[in-house]
Amino acid sequence: MIGPFLPIIILLLTISLLIFVLMYAYFLHKRVTSLSNQEIHALDQSDGILKQAHEEAEKIVKKAMEDAEVISTNADSFKADLQKSMQLILKNSSSKYTDVFQKEIDQLLQSYRQQFVEKQEKYLKEAENLMNDEKLSSQFYLQKKVEEEVASAKKSIEQYKQEQLKQFDQKVADFVQEVGKKVLGHALDVKDQKELIFGALEQANKDGIFNI
Amino acid sequence: MDTKYTSVLDQIQTLDQRESFINAIDQILDARFLTKANIDEVVEKKTTLFNAKILLGLLTKYKEIYKDSEKFDHFIKDIRSYINELPVIRLQVPIEYQTRDVSELYAWFNTNVKKKVILDIHQNNRLLGGCIVEINGVHKDYSLRSSITHYLSPQK
C-alpha cells in the first residue's frame, strides 16, 4: 500500500533533511560571525587602551622634561648665588675659609637639588597614579599589557630623572671648578696656598696617614 | 743606624737628593775598592758639591772610622742602607716648591711626624689648594678640588 507513495516519502524526507542542514549551517554561520565581531571589537578596544596609556606616558615624560628645563634654567641663578657667596667668603675670611666655603656650597646645592628632585618625584607619582587608574578601568585580559606600559613609563621617567640629576651636578661641578680656578687662583697668594698645604698635612697626620 | 748620623743626613730631604747621594756612595765604594785612592780626593772628584759636603761632614765627624778600611766599608754601607730605607712621602701641591720651601715642609715632618722621611714633591695646579699625600701605596686626597667634588657628589 505504501509502495506507490514510497518515492514521494523519500523525497519529502530528503527535502526536510536538506532544510534542516541548511538552517543549521545558517545559524552556525550567524554565530561565528557574531563572535568574530565581538573579538574584533575587543581587540580594537585593547589597541585603544594601550594607545591611550602610551600617549599618557609620553605626555607625562614630556611634561617632566619641560619642567626639568625650567629647573635647569634656575641653575643659572644658583650659579650667581654661588659666585656671590664664594666672593664673600674670600673677602671675609682667610685661613679657615675652606670650611665656610664647603658649608655654603653644601647648603646651596642641597636646596637646588631638593627642588629638582621634588619636581621629578611629583611627576613620577602622577604618572604612576594615572597608569594605575588606567589599569583598574581595563578589562582583565588587558591588565597585563597596561602593567607593562606602566613599568616602561616609570623606567623612562626614572632614567630621565637620573640623567638630569647627573647633568645638573656636572654643570654645577664644572662651574665651581671654573670659578674656583679664576677666583681662588687670583685671590690666594703663595702664603695662603702654603697655609692650605700645611692644613692638609695636619689633617693627614690626624688621620694617621704617616704612621702607615 | 746610629741616630747620631741623622743630623748630618738631614740635608737629604728629597727623592732626587737621595738618589744622587746613593749614587755618590756607590761610586766611592767602587773607586776605593778598585784604586785604593784617598777617600777625600775620591769624594771631591766623584760627587757633586752637595754630596761631598755631606760625606766629608760625616767623615770629619767620625775620623776613627774612615782610617780603618773594614770599619769604613761597614759605616758607608750602613749609611746607604739607612737612607735607602727611609719612607718616601709623595706630595702633590698646587704651587711650585723651591729648595727653601722644601726645607719648611721637611721641618714640619720632623716636628709633627717625628721621623725622618724623604719628600717627593710634584706640582699639580688642578688641586686649587691643599695637597694629595701618597705613602706606602696609600693615596689620600686633601685638596680643595677634592672637597668641592665631594660636596657636589650625587651620592652625598
The answer as to whether B156 is a domain residue is no
List chain B residues with CB under 8 Å of A210.
89, 109, 113, 115, 117, 135
**B24 with B51, same domain?**
yes
Q: Does the global pTM surpass 0.90? A: no
Of the three residues B54, B84, B114, the one that is the final residue of a domain is B84
Based on the structure, what is the number of domains in chain B? 2
Of the three residues B32, B53, B84, the one that is the final residue of a domain is B84
**B13 with B59, same domain?**
yes
Of residues B112 and A95, more confidence is placed in B112
Of the three residues B42, B64, B84, the one that is the final residue of a domain is B84
Interface predicted TM-score (ipTM) of this complex, two decimals: 0.84
> Cα–chain-centroid distance for residue A10?
77
**B15 with B76, same domain?**
yes
> Cα–chain-centroid distance for residue A76?
25
A68: cell is: 626639568
Substitution target in B104, B128, B149 with the highest count of A β-carbons within 10 Å is B128
B51-63: pLDDT as tens digits? 878 877 777 776 6
Contacts of A156 (CB under 8 A, 6+ apart): A57, A61
The mean pLDDT value of chain A amounts to 66
Q: How far is A126 from chain B (nearest CA, A)?
A: 24
Please judge whether A181 and B128 are an interchain contact, meaning their C-beta atoms are less than 8 angstroms apart. yes
Range of the domain at B142: 88-151
**B78 with B98, same domain?**
no
A185: cell is: 687662583
**B46 with B104, same domain?**
no
B86-129: pLDDT as tens digits? 999 999 998 888 877 899 999 999 999 988 899 999 998 778 78
**B63 with B104, same domain?**
no
pLDDT for the residue numbered B19: 92
Report helix, strand or coil for A169.
helix
The answer as to whether B144 is a domain residue is yes
Neighbours of A190 (CB within 10 A): 10
Find cell 758607608 and name the residue. Answer: B76
Q: Specify the length of chain A in residues.
A: 212
